[in-house]
Structure 1
Amino acid sequence: MPGLTRGAAALAARVPVMQGDTSPRPGDFDGLDAGPYQLWLDPLLLAASGDSEGAWQALGTVPRPPHDLLQEALSCVLARAAAEYAGAGSGLVSFGPVTRHLAAADAAIEAHASATGR
């Protein structure tokens, strides 16, 4: 199967990142050959490196994952990359990492609950 001889190690190395709540750090996967999966991994790696414009451009040009055994895995990588930044789908604006906004919302809810005794 294409990808098992080239690219499988790069996908396997991303499993802990994809199962966790963090993004990959720049350089985490340097030296790993993603082979045929590079197109689908680029948006996530660009987003994690802070290159939001590059990530949006990569997301806009990446094809749908092939209908094979790794279709769901590659779809998850794309979904994770798309959720890394809050902003307009056009790429005109970006409000930064989604996690920061979710943390701010949680803090506001907790503050309100504490202030009202709820």
Structure 2
Amino acid sequence: MKYKILVVDDEENIRWVLKESLGDIYNIQIAKNGEDALVKINKEIFDLVLLDLKLPKISGLEILRKIKKEKRNSIVVILTAYGNKENIKMAKELGVYCYLTKPFDLLELKSIIKKALDKK
């Protein structure tokens, strides 16, 4: 059975690249905004969530709070262009597995995902 990963990003090209590059290995689902992400998270359990912080409607940090509050066992990896110290600190306090800034290295991301899921 393939691990399930939710990609949450408002940039269509990021969603496409991640789905194309990870789709052979993992079961990839896509959410284009925070609201869409919460609907999907409430319907099913994801092994890992690739989460942008700056999203329309509901922020990535709010989604992260909800995942952790509901004690979901999802690993969360942040992918964002907004790598300021305050966001990094908050994300770490909320239990994020890893924090990468855009543009990110796809090989590095694949390695991080594999390591994270190997620990499950």
Q: State whether TM-score is above 0.5.
A: no
Please say which structure displays the higher CA radius of gyration.
1
Q: State the structure with bigger RCO (CA 8 A, min sep 6), 1 or 2.
A: 2
Structure having the larger proportion of residues in helix: 1
